[in-house]
Structure 1
Amino acid sequence: MNLDEPGLPIPDMPGYVYVFRDVGEHSNEIKVGYSIHPKDRVRQLHRSGTVWPLQIYWLWQVSNMKLAEKAAHAALEAHRINPRREFFEIAPSPHFNLEERHNSETTDAILWELIGDVTEAMSILQIEYEWEDPRGDN
């Protein structure tokens, strides 16, 4: 059984909650979800679910994927693009103008704050986690 397949129940087991960032013309968008193998998941999404390639921007290795993903989505709810999808706008309109939404310095700073919000939500729920910065900034 591939636990990274969409539609399968999210297990109450250790794994990762990830932030994948769009590297195409939609760099103001992120996908936040769970996976046991985030590198495989990002490749799978590009083959089947996204037009532009995504990059692994941030990872939390967590003790409970189901609870951690729910905490992440709750922390980011005001940024959600579609209530049925796991995609979020980093700098949502109308709070940010078009220039700000496509300025990498602006969106990088906001995304860093959003990562902090997700981390705080996990801490409040006492979810055990270790963060990983695959960009090499940690």
Structure 2
Amino acid sequence: MGWRVPAVWAAGLTLWMAIVGIVYHALLALDFDGLRWWTDQGLHTAVPIALFLWWLAFAPRAGLARRHALWWIGWPGLYMLYALIRGEIDGRHPYFFIDPPKIGWGPVLLWIVALGVVFWLAGLVLVALAKKSQPRPSSSRRCRP
């Protein structure tokens, strides 16, 4: 007997890592070379793709519901809050889109809302994909002559 990750956590982790890869490549990618290129690609490309493929092939998906797409916004939301508080304390903001001294609070709040919507919509897609890829229950009724 083995321990399995609950479906809601497996899907949440998959969603978070997929969006890490997408946001990185869309907004944050740097031009590294050598070993830094390999580690950067491993973290931001290979791991998200591998996790998504694992989720498609092996992860439990039963029981996922649309409400989970809202739950999955919680972790990125907490991270944004942490990053903003830490940035106000030490003056270092990890990303340009949550750097109020650089772009102002209005744009930062717009980025946070936009990312929240992206996480929510992507979560809904993941739930729909899970429902579509689940095996259909076989009918226990048999026709008798």
TM tier, smaller: under 0.3
Greater share of residues in strand: 1
Greater share of residues in helix: 2
Question: TM-score, normalized by length of structure 1?
Answer: 0.27
